[in-house]
Structure 1
Amino acid sequence: MAPRKQQEIFDATLALLARRGYESLTIEGVAELSGVNKTTIYRWWPSKPALLAAALMEADALAFDPPDTGTLRGDLEALVEGVIALLTSPPSSDIAVAALGAAVHHPELNIGAFFADRFAREQEIFERARSRGEPAATADPLMVLDLLAGAVWVRAIFRGAAGGGRLRQAGGLCRPRRGGRRRRGRQRRRGRRRRGRRRRRGRRRSEDGQRRGGGQRRRGVTPWRGDP
């Protein structure tokens, strides 16, 4: 199939998904909107879930290229910006919400393939970081990406924080906090002071016990040490 015709089918699929929801999405509706015969669509994608899965991964509306800013931190920040745009800018935001809702009730949709495809392409960020020798590149890529993207998804979809400013706070997860070294230094100093106070209290108790024992011996009293 010609790439242009394929994109028309995918665009029609995602437009109907966002407009009507998964339940009302039909191959016949896609054929009518795209101008492609439904038998042609069935020849390439035998079912509605197969068509939607292909559209989610290959449609230009959800196109994704891993950022390359020269640093892991910059790449992660750019990645967060991309997720924010995906979830807050129509039509991609409407498509994402509709697809997520459909995946909850229709496991045959296999939305996991979409995220697996994204993760496979996002790993390039960490591969480049490792080649540059960045220490943070040793972190678990899946864990890092889940934390960053998950924070944006929760705020945008489940909490309805559509404001870009508030969503961008999630990007702070990949930024080192200012003054972190100073805070860690203060914590270490407080810990040393606490340990020093405990040692001094222990020495004072020991010295007090020795003085009490010495005074009893000078008065001719043997300190009681329990039954023999």
Structure 2
Amino acid sequence: MGGGAAQARTGERSGPRRKEEIFAASLELLAGQGYDAFTIEGVALRSGVNKTTIYRWWPSKSELLRDALLHSGTLAFDLPDTGSLTGDLTELAVGVEGLLGEPEARAVVEAALVGAVRHPAMRELVTQFLEDRLGRHQPLFTRAVERGELPADLDPALLVDAVAGALWIRLLVRRRPVPDGFAAQLVALLADGIAAARER
């Protein structure tokens, strides 16, 4: 009985660690091989976790990739809280820039976007990822509304899309480096628009 309890506790402790290993292997395969060639068998081989265990947790590759995109630390960064909307948006831009500056994260983002163009299932995963990130950023905008910096009826997605989109286009499409002061300049332009919206 004692041995069984110890084994159960070990399983509980190893579960999150094993899942992170599976997530890491999943994103590495997505980045290296694309959505078409992505298989749970490949993830099992790369992660060293038995494929029956992976199938028990995720019955399909779409479900596995969804959780890998949402919960892996590869695509995560801290939510800023500088005390001002312009400060938070600037830090958000710096965070996106830093994320896309990491070769591993950049490769995952590129593979996901390419897959989204070709496959409805991958497109849905990217949509879920973006909605999840918008939800995680919501406290930033709630605080800004409470401070009177942002109109309550302004859609936060407009600001997130403007910040992230500018960096994605520059780094992933135009393949140009981000100059010093880019984030501050971008947010200054957005701040002018926000000020105009408050005066409506």
Return the offset for 1:173. 2.6
Return the offset for 1:68. 0.7
- Which residue among 32, 39, 58 is the counterpart of 1:45? 58
What is the aligned length? 176
In the other structure, the counterpart of 2:19 is: 6
In the other structure, the counterpart of 2:174 is: 159
In the other structure, the counterpart of 1:131 is: 146
- Over aligned residue pairs, what C-alpha RMSD do you find? 2.0
Return the offset for 1:164. 2.7
Could you give the per-residue CA deviations for residues 127-157 of structure 1, whole angstroms, max 9, x where no partner exists?
A: 1112223256663311111111111111111
Could you give the per-residue CA deviations for residues 7-56 of structure 1, whole angstroms, max 9, x where no partner exists?
A: 00000001111122222221111001111111111111111111111100
Pick closer, same or farther for the CA change 1:176–1:18 going to 2, 3 Å: closer
Confirm or deny that 1:149 pairs with 2:151: no
In the other structure, the counterpart of 2:198 is: none
Contact 2:90/2:183 (8 A) holds in 1: no
In the other structure, the counterpart of 1:222 is: none
Give matches, 1:129-208, under 5 Å.
129-135=144-150, 139-161=154-176, 163-165=177-179, 169=182, 171-175=184-188
Confirm or deny that 1:97 pairs with 2:110: yes
Structure 1 spans left out of the alignment, 5+ residues: 181-228
Contact 1:16/1:30 (8 A) holds in 2: yes
Give matches, 1:72-87, under 5 Å.
72-87=85-100
State how far apart, in whole Å, the 2-side matches of 1:12 and 1:18 are.
10
Contact 1:130/1:138 (8 A) holds in 2: no
State how far apart, in whole Å, the 2-side matches of 1:88 and 1:171 are.
18
State how far apart, in whole Å, the 1-side matches of 2:69 and 2:188 are.
30
Contact 1:148/1:171 (8 A) holds in 2: no
In the other structure, the counterpart of 1:116 is: 131
The letter for the 2-side match of 1:69 is T
Q: Could you say which structure has the larger radius of gyration?
A: 1
Could you give the per-residue CA deviations for residues 68-115 of structure 1, whole angstroms, max 9, x where no partner exists?
A: 111110000011111112222211011110111111111112110000
Structure 2 spans left out of the alignment, 5+ residues: 1-11, 193-200
Q: Which has the higher contact order (CA 8 A, sep 6+)?
A: 2
Return the offset for 1:57. 0.5
TM-score scaled by length of structure 1 = 0.71
The letter for the 1-side match of 2:98 is A
State how far apart, in whole Å, the 1-side matches of 2:81 and 2:110 are.
28
Contact 2:141/2:150 (8 A) holds in 1: no
Contact 1:151/1:170 (8 A) holds in 2: no
State how far apart, in whole Å, the 2-side matches of 1:139 and 1:118 are.
18
Confirm or deny that 1:107 pairs with 2:114: no
Alignment partner of 2:37: what SS? coil
The letter for the 2-side match of 1:164 is V
In the other structure, the counterpart of 2:196 is: none
